[in-house]
Structure 1
Amino acid sequence: MADRNQTLGDIIRGYRQRLYGFIRGRTASDADAEDILQEVWYQLSRLVDL
């Protein structure tokens, strides 16, 4: 479990800025982009948990 959390943390750190920029370019506000980004990470964590 610790390895999974570490790997997920690495993915988030590696892609956060780039993915946020992509999402922000398609949303009306920073808050909307943050909400969507949080949902992306949540869904990713659920997939990794399979």
Structure 2
Amino acid sequence: MTTQYNNGQAAASRNSENALVLWNCPGVARDYLVHWQSRWDQGVDFRSSY
């Protein structure tokens, strides 16, 4: 699993943040993008109820 790193003071000093950096791994990048796109495609626009 990967996650975002919220670049800020709390992330750098207090939060339990992590990041994964991969170089020269086009297969992993492609698989990650395909999965990300599948999640995006299932998203729906937020509509406030008030």
Fold shared by both chains (TM-score > 0.5): no
Higher helix fraction: Structure 1 or Structure 2? 1
Q: Which TM bucket (shorter chain)?
A: 0.3 to 0.5
- Which structure has the bigger radius of gyration? 2
